[in-house]
């Protein structure tokens, strides 16, 4: 683990000029051959990765602890994180406000109204990591700071803290970004409750968000011409490849369903094996078949939850409910996987004399990112780490929603041990530095693409 205690980094940051801190770090890591200032399209960037890392450490200090991050959306700790974000931009020539969905917008006016949006989310899962989401927001703030310091940018820039990306409290992830592109199911939202029985509409209203006015957030997309997000991978692939960063080709499509197997509950001692309608066995047959479907198509398939009734040691399970999550970057593969899962469920049910019913939970198609922005990201990754590695994202991000409407791209940093959504989540400072550096370069290339009319 290379993670330092937050106190230590604050000390270093306070007493060492940021430029020196970065140079020292760059000298430590031979893989980063990048000078502090780079010139892109005649513009010298003053972007300082060390500021991003220092902000992340301070955020972790204020809203985390030995058990991990506590920035659950729509709670005090989340508001504390947002207050810190406002502090960071307080002296910048920006406007700060919230839209109808509670997304926090920091906007730097440029020469044109065309808007490059960057960002991610400050909210975390309970006992989450210090980087998930926060990296993209802090990297975005540094971009705005650097661009403001360099003069008036060619286009306007917004850094957005999307509200409730995690969906950890009410089960609806990508809340804020979905509101902006209009993919929220408002009636469904009204029925959502948290673990304590708190109703979503009532809790959100306390934060100034009226569920009946969420549509108003769509207006924010009017001038948006591109979206760029930097995020940790949250998986082990980059680390296994020995790489620190990569371009993200898109986010995988997801099919999420609940399967209800119905048979007959019976006495565990008296019902002969050959006469049973055992739904747990049927569900198990399906789970094994689903695993093979995932492997065969190089996708991922998961049964993450199972519950059997009556759920006692002395009874055959008369009903078993399981969840299924399947993901693939290719639409065609995902469709075939979904069809094969249906066939497998039918076969599993009938083998045990049971029936199966499918209940839809969630679906999002694969979101390949924009070709021109992908090229910009690839060039940037090549400059920073000298390779062309590109991975699809297995996790959803706010970029998945943005990609529905505007040219979008993402950059990943590695994740130590592939861990995320846990307090052990971490990434080396060398890799964080490379990721935000590549993000800065990608954003500047995105601005050039917008100015040249190449993203239309
Ligand atoms: Zn995230």
Report the separation in Å between the CA atom of 41 and the middle of ligand 1, taken as the mean of its atom positions: 31
| Cα 254 to ligand 1 centre (Å) | 16
Say whether both 91 and 190 belong to one domain: yes
- Cα 156 to ligand 1 centroid, rounded to whole Å: 25
C-alpha 135 to ligand 1 mean position (Å): 9
The pLDDT value recorded for residue 361 is 87
Q: How far is the CA of 122 from the centre of ligand 1 (A)?
A: 8
Q: Could you tell me the distance, in angstroms and rounded to a whole number, from the CA of residue 132 to the centre of ligand 1?
A: 5
DSSP letters along 138-191, please?
Answer: HHHHHHHHHHHHTSS-SEEEEEEE-TTSS-TTTS--SHHHHHHHT---HHHHHT
Mind listing the pLDDT tens digit of every residue in the chain (456 residues)?
444 333 333 323 232 333 333 443 433 443 433 434 555 555 568 999 999 999 999 999 999 988 999 999 999 999 999 999 999 999 999 999 999 999 999 999 999 999 999 999 999 999 999 999 999 999 999 999 999 999 999 999 999 999 999 998 898 899 999 999 999 999 999 999 988 999 999 999 999 999 999 999 999 999 999 999 999 999 999 999 999 999 999 999 999 999 999 999 999 999 999 999 999 999 999 999 999 999 999 999 999 999 999 999 999 999 999 999 999 999 999 999 999 999 999 999 999 999 999 999 889 999 999 999 999 999 999 999 999 999 999 999 999 999 999 999 999 999 999 999 999 999 999 999 999 999 999 999 999 999 999 997
In a domain, 389, yes or no: yes
Burial of 291 (0-12, 13-18, 19+ CB in 10 A): middle
Left if phi > 0, otherwise alpha if psi is -120 to 50, otherwise beta: which for 167? left
Regarding whether 68 and 136 lie in a shared domain, the answer is: yes
Query: What per-residue confidence (pLDDT) applies to 79?
Result: 97
Distance 385 CA to ligand 1 centre (A): 23
The domain boundary, picked from 307, 330, 364, lies at: 364
- Residue with the two structure tokens 């094969």: 340
Domain boundary among 341, 364, 387: 364
CA distance 304 to 322: 7
| Partners of 115 in the β-ladder | 156, 224
Judge if 127 and 196 occupy the same domain.
yes
The reported pLDDT for the residue numbered 362 is 86
Q: Is the peptide bond before 350 cis (omega within 30 degrees of 0)?
A: no
290 and 156 within one domain: no
**Contact indicator for 144, 106 with CB cutoff of 8 Å:** yes
Give 199-234 as a DSSP string: BHHHHHHHTT--GGGGGGGGGGGTTEEEEEEEEE--
317 and 272: one domain?
Answer: yes
Task: For residue 456, tell me if it sits in a domain.
Answer: no
CA 295 to ligand 1 center in whole angstroms: 26
Q: 221 and 313, same structural domain? A: no
Q: Are residues 329 and 374 in the same domain?
A: no
Query: How far apart are the CA of 394 and the centre of ligand 1, in A?
Result: 12
Cα separation, 342 vs 340, whole angstroms: 5
Q: How far is the CA of 202 from the centre of ligand 1 (A)?
A: 25
CA of 303: how far to CAs of 16, 115, 287, 288, in Å?
A: 50, 41, 6, 10
pLDDT of residue 40: 57
302 Cα to the center of ligand 1, angstroms = 20
Distance (angstroms) between ligand 1 centre and the Cα of 274 equals 48
Which one-letter DSSP state was computed for residue 3? Answer: P
Residue 426 lies in a domain: yes
In a domain, 149, yes or no: yes
Residue 357 alpha carbon to ligand 1 centre in Å: 32
Ligand 1 centroid, distance to 228 Cα (angstroms):
14
Buried b or exposed e, range 99-124, using 16+ CB within 10 angstroms: bbbbbbbbbbbbeeebbbbbbbbbbb
DSSP reduced 3-state for 22: helix
Q: Are residues 208 and 272 in the same domain?
A: no
- Pair (388, 345) in one structural domain: no
Give CA 195 to chain center in angstroms. 23
Largest distance between two CA atoms of the chain = 82
> Is 447 inside a domain boundary?
yes
DSSP 355-394: EEEEEEEEEE--EEPPHHHHHHHHHHHHHHHS---EEEES
CATH of the domain at 234: 3.40.630.10
Q: How far is the CA of 52 from the centre of ligand 1 (A)?
A: 16
C-alpha 365/C-alpha 252 separation (Å) is 7
Domain count, the chain: 2
Tell how far the Cα of 251 is from the centroid of ligand 1, in angstroms: 13
On whether the CB atoms of residues 129 and 421 are closer than 8 A, the answer is: yes
Task: Report yes or no: 144 and 94 within 8 Å, Cβ to Cβ.
Answer: yes
User: What is residue 369's DSSP assignment?
Assistant: P
Identify whether residues 263 and 308 lie together within a single domain.
Answer: yes
User: What would the two tokens of residue 200 be?
Assistant: 């979503």
- Angle at 442 (CA atoms; ends 437, 445), nearest 5 degrees: 130
14 Cα to the center of ligand 1, angstroms: 29
Domain's final residue, options 313, 335, 364: 364
84 Cα: distance to centroid of ligand 1 (angstroms): 18
What's the domain range around 349? 254-364
Same domain, 232 and 206: yes
| Residue 327, pLDDT score | 96
How far, in Å, from the CA of 58 to the mean position of ligand 1?
18
**Domain-embedded: residue 160:** yes
Query: What separation in Å is there between the alpha carbon of 125 and the centre of ligand 1?
Result: 9
| The residue to which tokens 């808007």 are assigned | 115
- CA–centroid distance, 134 to ligand 1, in Å, is 8
- 99 and 215 assigned to the same domain: yes
CATH number at residue 347: 3.30.70.360
């Amino acid at each position: 683990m290379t993670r330092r205690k937050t106190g230590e980094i604050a000390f270093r940051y306070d007493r060492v000029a940021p430029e020196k801190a970065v140079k020292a770090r760059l000298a430590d890591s031979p893989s980063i051959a990048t000078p502090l200032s780079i010139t892109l399209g005649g513009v010298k960037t003053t972007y300082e990765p060390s500021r991003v890392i220092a902000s992340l450490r301070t955020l972790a200090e204020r809203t985390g602890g030995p058990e991990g991050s506590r920035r659950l959306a729509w709670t005090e700790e989340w508001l504390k994180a947002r207050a810190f974000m406002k502090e960071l931009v307080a002296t910048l020539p920006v406007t700060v406000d919230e839209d109808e969905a509670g997304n926090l917008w920091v906007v730097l006016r440029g020469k044109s109204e065309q808007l490059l949006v960057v960002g991610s989310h400050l909210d975390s899962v309970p006992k989450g990591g210090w980087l998930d989401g926060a990296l993209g927001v802090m990297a975005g703030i540094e971009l705005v700071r650097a661009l403001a310091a360099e003069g008036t940018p060619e286009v306007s820039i917004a850094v957005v803290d999307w509200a409730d990306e995690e969906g950890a409290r009410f089960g609806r992830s990508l809340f804020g970004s979905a509101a902006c592109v209009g993919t929220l199911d408002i009636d469904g939202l009204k029925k959502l409750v948290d673990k304590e029985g708190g109703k979503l509409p009532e809790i959100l209203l306390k934060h100034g968000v009226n569920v009946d006015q969420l549509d108003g957030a769509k207006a924010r997309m009017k001038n948006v011409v591109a979206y760029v997000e930097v995020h940790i991978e949250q998986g082990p692939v980059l680390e296994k490849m020995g790489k620190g960063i990569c371009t993200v080709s898109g986010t995988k499509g997801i099919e999420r369903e609940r399967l209800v197997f119905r048979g007959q509950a019976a006495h565990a001692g008296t019902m002969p094996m050959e006469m049973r309608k055992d739904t747990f066995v049927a569900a198990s047959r399906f789970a094994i078949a689903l695993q093979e479907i995932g492997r065969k198509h190089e996708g991922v398939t998961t049964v993450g939850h199972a519950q059997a009734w009556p759920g006692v040691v002395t009874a055959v399970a008369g009903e078993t409910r399981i969840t299924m999550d399947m993901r693939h970057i290719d639409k065609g593969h995902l469709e075939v996987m979904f069809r094969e899962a249906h066939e497998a469920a039918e076969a599993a049910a009938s083998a045990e004399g049971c029936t199966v019913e499918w209940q839809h939970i969630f679906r999002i198609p694969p979101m390949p990112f924009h070709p021109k922005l992908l090229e910009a990201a690839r060039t940037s990754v090549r400059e920073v780490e000298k390779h062309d590695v590109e991975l699809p994202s297995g996790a959803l991000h706010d970029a998945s929603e943005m990609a529905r409407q505007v040219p979008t791209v993402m950059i990943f940093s590695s994740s130590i041990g592939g861990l995320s959504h846990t307090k052990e989540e971490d990434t080396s400072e060398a890799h964080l530095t490379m990721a935000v550096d590549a993000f800065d370069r990608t954003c500047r290339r995105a601005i050039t693409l917008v100015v040249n009319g190449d993203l239309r």
